[in-house]
Amino acid sequence: MRNPYRLPALALLLIVTVFPILPAMAERVVVDMAGRSVTVPDTVRRVATIGPVPVLNSLVFAVGGQGTIANGLPPNLGGARWKYQYLLAPGLEARPVIQGSEGGPSLEGIIALAPEVVLTMDRRTVEAAERVGLATLYLSWRQPEEVKAVIGLLARLYGVPEAGRTYDAVFDAMMARVVKRLAGRPEAERPRVLYASLKRLTQPHLIAEWWIAQAGGRSVTDDGRTAESLTFSLEQLLAWNPEVLIVSSPAEVAEAYADPRFSGLAAIRHRRVHAVPMGAHLWGNRTAEQPLTVLWAATVIRPDLFGDIHMTDEVAAFYRDVFGFSLSPEMAAEILAGRPGQ
């Protein structure tokens, strides 16, 4: 099997012929989330986002760097569902695709982009890119609130510290509103919640354990696990009997109601199955939109406490303040319905 990190002759040629003719520019040092000191240009004009591309892009959007992203989305992530990646970063759809549907990108592809900085959450990519002299920042995001640290790092990279402060303020204010309404409520009031792919019987993202709890629910899959995904049996699902079921698309909502295997679940009987919203990224995953995830989840998990929240207004305000993008009410509504581009 071809090693995607092997340095072919073409890559060597690019290094020796392309890189030397780039004009000299002022430089500075940025410390990444692995504690590495990385020399970067004073003004960053071209970056490559390698690994979970939509997640990384959403973080870059939050600091106004969308115009610097040099690569497109992997081929399995194209199409209308990713409408807001393309709206937030005009021209993204036409940029070179250097990463396949599975596995890492070719080092040759990264070099051909000639990025000034590579952004990645993958240590192998850091090592490979460093070997050929590419400035590479490692972005770590394991704990939920580390999104603020990641965006703070990118704000320093782009020389816009105010963007990091804005994001922190929006994140903290939104979380504080949820905490205040849930304060003093007994644990027994918290509904049983499952975020899952019912086709695969999998809870796909560890971060859901955090946003479900923050939103006032009890995640039935929260057993102290550290693995990113968790697979379970139909028998286990029936034993959990979630009262609220959150899935990744409107199509899955319809499938859940139609599947006779699930008909006895409390969430099915009480019509409490919801598609997670989809904007710059799917809100159930890691995304710069994480505080919106918590607020939205609170409205569907605890409508008794959050029923007066107008989420279309909240989404529009977040996109304006964080992404610098003006959403129409119709756009906000399609994001909340999980139906971008439909």
Q: Which of 78, 148, 87 shows the shortest CA–CA distance to 291? A: 148
- Quote the CA–CA distance of 91 and 85 in Å, as a whole number: 10
CATH of domain 9-163: 3.40.50.1980
- Quote the CA–CA distance of 221 and 85 in Å, as a whole number: 30
- Quote the CA–CA distance of 317 and 326 in Å, as a whole number: 9
**Alpha helices (runs of H) in 158-265, residue ranges in sequence order:** 161-182, 207-214, 234-240, 250-258
- Quote the CA–CA distance of 194 and 196 in Å, as a whole number: 6
Predicted pLDDT at 144: 83
Structure tokens at 56: 């990384």
- Quote the CA–CA distance of 121 and 54 in Å, as a whole number: 12
Q: What are phi and psi of 179, to 5 degrees?
A: -60, -40
Q: What are phi and psi of 334, to 5 degrees?
A: -75, -30
- Quote the CA–CA distance of 256 and 275 in Å, as a whole number: 11
Which regions of the chain carry the CATH code 3.40.50.1980?
9-163, 186-336
Q: Classify residue 171 as exposed, middle or buried by CB count within 10 Å of its CB (0-12, 13-18, 19+).
A: buried
Q: What are phi and psi of 255, to 5 degrees?
A: -65, -40
Predicted pLDDT at 55: 95
CATH of domain 186-336: 3.40.50.1980
Q: Which of 114, 148, 26, 126 shows the shortest CA–CA distance to 156? A: 148
Structure tokens at 13: 């040629």
Q: Is 138 helix (H, G, I), strand (E, B) or coil?
A: strand
Residues 250 and 339: beta-carbon distance below 8 Å: yes
Mean pLDDT in consecutive groups of 10 residues from the start of the chain, 342 residues: 42 43 71 96 97 95 98 86 96 90 75 95 91 94 89 98 98 98 95 97 95 98 94 98 97 97 98 98 96 98 97 98 97 96 77
Rg (CA), the chain: 21
